[in-house]
A = this chain, B = another copy of it.
Amino acid sequence: MYKIESIEGGVCAATGFFADGVSAGLKPDGAKDMAFIYSDTLCEIASVFTTNKMTAAPIRHFRRYGRFESNFVVINAKNANAMTGDAGMECIDDVLAVASARFREIHNPIMSSTGVIGVPLPIEKIKVGIRKFNLRVKNSNAAAAAIMTTDRFAKQTAVRVTLEDGSSFHIGAIAKGAGMINPAMATMLCFITTDANCNSEAMQAVLNNVVQRTFNAISVDGDTSTNDTVLLLSNKQSHCYDATAFQEALEQVMLYLAKAMVRDGEGASKLVTYDITGALNDAEAQVAAKALSTSLLMKTALFGEDPNWGRVASTIGASGIACDEKRLRIAFDDVCVYDNGVISFDETMERRAAEVMQRNAFTISCDIGLGKGHFQAYGCDLGYEYVKINADYRT
């Protein structure tokens, strides 16, 4: 038996981890725009990156290391260092050389970036930011705020896992992401730290597994970025580990942050869970759930709080999975609007379904009626604000 508790401290909750955010002048209003995460001992690393083939320079730079240990990550907002060619890679070498010269205690430093694509990294400003870092600070709030772009709120969480023998380890994280969020983990960064005694192979296996049900199950706009990154760093300082507890705790941390990204979706006001059951298999359930969470017609109907269940049926039909209108069941929370070919949708039902849609969070359940396949995806509505934010993101 083990116990998982939410605790304070974010990405600094695990023993031996430090983090802070500073202002390097990248954001125009003097807001924090650069962050670091530092461990006072070396960490093993697991990672998941974007599937976008126009991979940003920081990801290509990370991959150049091969297998390695590190204890320092520097992150900048406002510039993705993507589509910047060899010059983008040289910028990272330059930044990390400055960091290594200033902080003798760091090894194999990692850089991560988010922001606009196709603009050279403002390297002098970034060097200024590096010089402002104080590696003895534990300020997860500031780090979480610094990596925000269009985010409306900072995202961090942490848990303590207490094992049966009384020993405990911690997992903490910060994340950013509000738009360009899609199954393939778009424009999101997440940095997870742990003092669990877990090596990189074990962490990588757990991370690959959990990411499918968390960051790869959310969608804000169906677009996939050049920079998406999840890094999981373990400094093992707790000396304890339990595989089952670790996976459950990591899933709790990642699901919390994934849902926070959807809640913070550009212009979003609702968190909708698409719960697909009865598909031929889990893969088909996933296809249908993601089709719903990505559909523009669904998203605008959510925004209008219009219980247009016909769009749910049509989107499932368009997704390509095996389905049959006579076997389908659709419900908005506990209000069943369509059941096995029978439209149970009169004015009373419409009013009740519309009431469900006014909630900040609710579930659209679809039983495909053909098998045992199950998947949950998470999406949001799309309103005027999304258009406004994305019509002139760069200005």
Contacts and interface: CB of A to CB of B under 8 A. Distances in A.
Interface stretch (A133-141, A154-162, A308-316): A308-316
Interface stretch (A14-22, A50-58, A103-111, A255-263): A50-58
B383 A325 contact: no
A310 B82 contact: yes
Interface stretch (A39-47, A122-130, A168-176, A292-300): A292-300
Contact of A391 (B179, B345, B383): B383
A343 interface: yes
Interface stretch (A2-10, A94-102, A192-200, A222-230): A222-230
A41 to B, nearest CB: 37
Contacts of A74: none
* Main DSSP-derived SS at the A contact region: loop
Nearest to A84: B343
A392 B305 CA distance: 8
27 contacts: A51-B318, A52-B317, A53-B318, A53-B321, A54-B313, A54-B316, A54-B323, A54-B325, A83-B310, A83-B314, A83-B338, A85-B325, A85-B341, A85-B342, A117-B308, A184-B318, A223-B296, A223-B318, A226-B313, A226-B314, A296-B386, A300-B386, A300-B390, A301-B393, A304-B392, A306-B391, A384-B387
Interface of A: 51-55, 80, 82-86, 116-120, 179-180, 184, 186, 221-226, 295-297, 300-301, 303-304, 306, 308-311, 313-318, 320-326, 338, 341-343, 345, 382-384, 386-388, 390-395
